[in-house]
Structure 1
Amino acid sequence: MKAMILAAGLGTRMRPLTLNTPKPLLQVGGKCLIEYHIERLVAAGVTDIVINHAWLGEQIEAYLGDGARYGAHIRYSAESEPLETGGGIRKALPLLCGRDKSAFLVLNGDLFSTQPLLPLLQQCPPPGGAHLVLTENPSWHPEGDFALSEQGQVSAEGASRLTFSGISVLTPELFAGVDATAFALAPLLREAMAQGRVTGSRLDGYWEDVGTPDRLRALDQRLSAGTI
């Protein structure tokens, strides 16, 4: 299975830290955020990685290179205009999928998690489907995103709502029939949920959406103290 790390965001919530540095290259615990993803992917046996970028993307390419020093093979999908999450993934599909139309792993570049990746490589969503990793709702997002049933099905509505962690296994057919260039991922997922094509699991381990300077500092302190 190949993997994609989403790294094309402007990082507006992280300013002023991201005025001259792309968010994936911000450091916590003495290491860039995106390096934790790469190292965990390689440890799970995923060495073919695609990274999309836009804002200050040349810095990401210059820092990570071809991925050889991590034991990975990194390719880049450069975006000259904002494509949103869905548009960014669809643009990168030729790098992610061959003729076999295999599913692929997707990680948001601005998250930190110890979620084991190896079990996700065993997930085989149906064509047009997805598998989402969901986590308990953080204080800043109490309403959650989707509901997860005891049978592992994910739905747009439900009593027990959880937050999408930004970790998923997607199928290329999920993007079939979309004419727009820039579009969000969530509407495609909700449509697939209505068709019973989205499964899910609860996050195992630590998770943090590193979206603000305060969260970045708190994560850095935890990592430096060895509490994660």
Structure 2
Amino acid sequence: MRALLLSAGFGTRLRPLTESVPKCLIPINGKPLMEYWLDMLCREKNIPVMVNLHYLSKQVEDYIAISPYKQFVTTVFEEYLLGTGGTLLRNRNFFGKESVFMAHGDNLSLFDLTAFVRAHYERPGHCEMTMMTFETDTPQSCGIVELDTDNVVCAFHEKVDNPPGNLANGAVYILEPSVLDFLDSLGKEVIDFSTEVLPYYVGRINAFHNGRYHRDIGTMDSYRKAQNDFFQPDLSAIKDIHFEF
């Protein structure tokens, strides 16, 4: 398995924080967001990670250069943003024929990586990716998903006024190489994963539920909430996290 940590965005909704710091390095409890992901992916297993860069790229490069995981991280600079799908396609040689773990660097997420990988390997045979889901307290602002009896995504509801529930797409995925073949078939360089890829795979997306912690640190409000609730005195909900598989 190889990983893509998406870290090129401008983070405009997090201004003024992101006027001088890229959103992937915004600190939560004194620790950059990127470090939470690198801890998970590299601490126990040497998963090669690609980080795409654009906005304030030198800061990210400097951070990685002093990271204890620098030997596992490859960076790639995008002169212009390619969209999630475009980044995957541009760098498909890095991923080869391996499964791809993909996450956005501005998400803060605690989950059992072992269980997530297992869920993907044990997915229904017709599914080509596994999506992390979580329960959101703001369903109108999220992509809400519906699941069938086999735990497969059967519908998306993207930021609608009256969504049918609060089970949301966490934008953390494990993808099979066939998904990159589909990206190639589109014949374009810039590809939006949410609008051009996910709809095509409805009915073929396995779901893994994160019942521990997940928050998109995309706005100042969500950033404040994460600072308030990420580390509580009672850590019983997260004490049994394991990273081996």
TM-score for the superposition, normalised by structure 2: 0.81
In the TM superposition, residue 3 of structure 1 has moved relative to its aligned partner by: 1.1
Residues 144 and 165, structure 2, Cα contact 8 Å, conserved in 1: no
Find the counterpart in structure 1 of residue 209 from structure 2: 202
How far apart, in 2, do the equivalents of 1:107 and 1:114 lie? 12
Identity of aligned residues (%): 24
Partner residue in 1 for 2:171: 166
State the alpha-carbon separation in 2 of the partners of residues 103 and 70 from structure 1: 21
Deviation at 1:12, TM superposition (A): 0.7
Q: Secondary structure at the match of 1:80?
A: coil
The CA deviation at 1:121 is 2.3
- Aligned partner of 1:78 in structure 2 is 77
The number of aligned residues is: 222
Matches within 5 A, 1:103-182: 103-122=99-118, 123-124=120-121, 129-139=128-138, 141=140, 144-157=143-156, 162-174=167-179, 175-182=183-190
- Would the alpha carbon gap of residues 9 and 110 (structure 1) be closer, same or farther in structure 2, given more than 3 Å must change? same
Alignment RMSD:
2.4
**1:151 shift after superposition:** 0.9
Residue 211 of structure 1 aligns to a residue whose secondary structure is coil
Structure 2 match to 1:93: 92
For the residues of structure 1 that align with 2:126 and 2:51, how far apart are their CA atoms? 23
Output the amino acid matched with 2:109: S
Q: Does 1:192 align with 2:191?
A: no
Quote the offset at 1:161 in angstroms.
Answer: 6.4
| Alignment check: 8 A CA contact 1:54 1:80 kept | yes
Shift of 1:216: 1.4
Give the letter for the 2:147 counterpart. L
Contact 2:54/2:77 (8 A) holds in 1: yes
Structure 1 residues 227 and 179: alpha-carbon distance in aligned structure 2, compared to 1, 3 A threshold: farther
C-alpha separation in 1, matches of 2:51 and 2:140: 27
> Letter of the aligned partner of 1:214 in structure 2?
D
Give 1:20 shift.
1.6
Task: Give, in whole Å, the separation in 2 of the partners of 1:140 and 1:120.
Answer: 23
Distance 1:225 1:128 in 2: 37
Letter in 1 for 2:93: P
List alignment gaps of at least 5 residues for structure 1: none
1:17 shift after superposition: 1.0
TM-score by length of 1: 0.86
The 1-side partners of 2:80 and 2:25 are apart by 20
The 3 A distance-change label for structure 1 pair 16 and 142 is closer
| Structure 2 unaligned regions, length at least 5 | 158-163, 236-245
Amino acid at match of 1:121: V
Instruction: Tell me the CA shift for residue 225 of structure 1.
Output: 4.5
User: Contact 2:139 / 2:168 at 8 angstroms: preserved in 1?
Assistant: no
Match of 1:220 among 227, 234, 237: 227
How much does 1:6 deviate? 0.7
Quote the Cα distance in structure 1 between the aligned partners of 2:165 and 2:101.
25
Distance in 2 (alpha carbons) for counterparts of 1:227 and 1:82: 40
